[in-house]
Chain A
Amino acid sequence: MNAVRQLGNGVFSMNGREWSLLVACLLAIIIFSVASPHYATSGNAATVLRNSVELLLIGLGMTLLLAMGGIDVSIGIVMGLAAIAIGRVLGADGNPVLALVAGPVVGALLGCVTATVVVLGRVPAIVGTLGLLGVYRTAVFVLLGGQWLSGLPASLTNLLATTVLGVPVPALVIVAAYLAVWLALRRTPYGLHLLAIGNSEEKARLSGIPVIKIRFVTFVISGILTGVAATFYVATYRNVEMTIGSTLALDAIAAVILGGTSILGGKCSLIGTVLGVLLLRILQNGLLLIGVPSLWQPVVTGVLIIGVLGFEAISNRFPVVQLLRARA
């Protein structure tokens, strides 16, 4: 039922949590603008958006995984492995077109590996990907062999730094990825099946949904999106270091949870994920601008998770709030 109701949502239509996140973003922007004269500048806005690109792409994939009751804690290192492939291609002959393909391909392949263990091996996703996290990390070390890929040619950077009709390429890619995932989720049987699996895998199986196929494909989609994120990473930094992506998985999970996707599956919000990523980045940026040391940033992330979800849990208990919500 839940899934069917959500099918009616428009591309950018929003529910209660999503409105609160939007209000929180705007409120934060207003407060920071008052507190710091340097906040509301176009340069700073560009900085915030630029720093959200990888997390947005990975977050979209993570949204799908959580919505079907899965998870992937190794996703940051998958980005690292894809980045190594891109870096090697780029370093060999500087051909940016081949490099564009390398990321998504390696991402998809690793998605297949993860899916083989988790889906075909029927191992709980959190533990299975925890094991793979270790394996992938060793692969990163061995492939890099202690040397970073440094000073990569700028051909890929130049290609992705262009604008089409005045819109920067990264923004276009993110909008395209968003629309593609949204369409798959809300306008195809795939999305319906995904949410049904998230609600109850057992019931989904009994009603004839190809559970294994859907779950397998979702891990591959997440891998592809991560590969695209890796492409932007390499284009931006022209450097692949050993610690690449080590904090991304937990950040992505945090953003998706903030956005209102349930980790029990069955409920999912793409626009919520986008707003969750932006809220995290806006707060990290703004707090530094008003002089809070960067070491406090993880604390802010944690307080935000507990605060937002805790507040929702409490407010659900008061009938007045529910009444107001029903009327709205």
Chain B
Amino acid sequence: MKTLRNLQGPALTLTLLCGLWLIVILGLLVLKPSVYNLGTVTTILQFSTILALVGLGQGLVILAGGSGIDLSVGGTVSLSAIVGMLGVKLGLPPVLLPVVCILAGAMLGALNGWLVNGLALLPFIATLGTFFVYSGTALAITGGAAQAGVPSWLLLWGRGVAMGIPVPFLTLAIPCFALAGLLLLSTAWGRWIYAMGFNERSARLVGIPVDRVRFILYSLSGALAGAAGLVSLAWLGSGRPNIGQNLELESLTAAMLGGIAITGGRGGVGGVFAAVLLLVTLKTGLLQLNINTVWQVGIVGGLLVFVLLADRLSQRWRS
């Protein structure tokens, strides 16, 4: 009975998100019919890619419980992009750029995993520390200067559009979400993640390798942030040392809006995907109506509070 009730949480959030999304779309239709074309879809997906990748990693880390959170994702995006570009500058063959970015991200994530597992630091503290270190290092080693020199074939990938869908979204974000969804729903690993998020002690008792899973998830979150760094390179054409600014808070917002419980064990990646699209659609809609951007942060924040309260209230009604 209890598990059944818990399953209703994400479903409720997902319905709520889809409803809100429809409202935004309908609202736009009424206020500004001209936005309905393929270009708008392309724009929305283009600006969703980085947040989607980072939000996925954030969501998985939180889902696995143990007070899991990754505040360093923004710093990881910046630093892995910078490491990649500095590598090219130092004579690394540009062909390796994608590998270097993702690998750098994975290693930065692995460091988080080690701090959490090996040193038993609380995730909030460990990743707050690495947030300062990663984002600070990216700025300090470049002195703030953008790093140019992205090879043109990478730009072709980063700025390409196929059937109205940006190529990075098609080839990176969608497969990542599909794989993660598959992993969670139909593999032992997925069940482990939910189990340890729901109750870590009993997960350990039944022999789930909790530490190993957690370490891999932090590394994965780092690798996804590294991939987001790569997307930023391929899209902007240069490495910006502050490209990941605010992503820690935005990804947290997406994961929470997407119905992942902050205590872990509840939620899914489908909700995160929907939340990212909702957030970007909302921003796009407000921009298309030329509403002052100061309202964006407030509306997103208010939305987060609203969804959380709705979730709480529905739980109270049911019990």
Instruction: List residues 291-308 of chain A with CB under 8 A from any CB of chain B.
Output: 293, 295-299, 301-303, 305-306
Q: Give Cα distance in the complex from A137 to B297, angstroms.
A: 7
Q: What are the interface flags for B104-125 relative to A under an 8 Å C-beta threshold, 1 for contact and 0 otherwise?
A: 0000000000010001111011
With beta carbons under 8 angstroms apart, the residue of B120, B125, B136, B256 that contacts A305 is: B125
Q: Does A180 contact B (CB under 8 A)?
A: no
B294 touches A310 (CB 8 A): no
Cβ-based interface call for B253 (8 A): yes
Whether A138 sits at the interface, judged by CB under 8 Å, is yes
Q: Does B302 contact A (CB under 8 A)?
A: yes
The binding surface of chain A is classed by DSSP as helix
Closest approach, in angstroms, between the C-beta of A245 and any C-beta of chain B?
Answer: 14
Interface residue B140 (Cβ < 8 Å from any Cβ of A)? yes
Name the one of A121, A133, A295, A296 contacting B309, with C-beta atoms under 8 angstroms.
Answer: A121
Count class of interface residues, chain A: 35 or more
Residues of B within 8 A of A253 (CB): 128
Are A314 and B119 touching (Cβ within 8 A)?
Answer: yes
From B115, B121, B129, name the one whose CB has the most chain A CB atoms within 10 angstroms: B129
Q: Does B160 contact A (CB under 8 A)?
A: no
| A303 near B128: Cβ-Cβ < 8 Å | no
Contact between B137 and A299 (Cβ–Cβ < 8 Å)? yes
Main secondary structure of the interface of B (DSSP, over half): helix
Query: Which residues does chain A contribute within 8 Å of B137, judged by CB atoms?
Result: 299
Among A131, A136, A295, A299, the residue within 8 A (CB) of B304 is A131
Query: With contacts defined as CB atoms under 8 Å apart, how many contacts are there between chain A and chain B in the complex?
Result: 133
Residues of A within 8 A of B299 (CB): 134, 138
Residue B18 CB within 8 A of the other chain: no
Q: Is A171 an interface residue (CB 8 A)?
A: no
Is the beta-carbon distance between A303 and B121 smaller than 8 angstroms? Answer: no
Residues of the B chain whose Cβ atoms lie less than 8 Å from the Cβ of A139 = 298
* Min CB–CB distance A78 → chain B (angstroms): 13
B133, A133: Cβ atoms closer than 8 Å: no
Residues from chain A with a CB closer than 8 A to the CB of B308 are 121, 123-124, 127-128, 131
Indicate whether A46 reaches chain B with its CB closer than 8 angstroms. no
Instruction: Please report the C-alpha to C-alpha distance between residue A250 and residue B312 in the assembled complex, in whole angstroms.
Output: 27
Q: Which residues of A contact B120 (CB under 8 A)?
A: 313
Bound CA span A314–B300, Å: 41
Question: Does A135 lie within 8 Å of B309, measured CB to CB?
Answer: no
Known pairs A121-B312, A134-B301, A135-B298; A127 contacts B252 (CB<8 A): yes
Answer whether residue A254 sits at the interface, using C-beta atoms and an 8 A cutoff.
yes
CB within 8 Å for A298 and B135 given contacts A130-B304, A134-B304, A138-B294: yes
B249 interface contact, C-beta 8 A? yes
Cα distance A117–B256 in the bound complex, in angstroms: 16
Q: Which of B122, B129, B134, B302 contacts A134 (CB 8 A)?
A: B302
- Bound-state Cα–Cα, A124 to B261, Å: 9
Q: Per a CB cutoff under 8 Å, which of B132, B263, B305 touches A302? A: B132
Q: B143 an interface residue at 8 Å Cβ cutoff?
A: yes
> Within 8 Å of chain A (Cβ to Cβ): is B144?
yes
Please give the distance in Å from B141's CB to the nearest CB on chain A. 9
A295 touches B136 (CB 8 A): yes
Question: Would you mind naming 18 contact pairs between A and B with Cβ atoms under 8 Å apart?
Answer: A121-B309, A121-B312, A123-B312, A127-B262, A130-B256, A134-B300, A135-B298, A141-B294, A250-B131, A254-B132, A264-B67, A264-B122, A295-B136, A299-B133, A299-B136, A306-B121, A306-B130, A314-B119
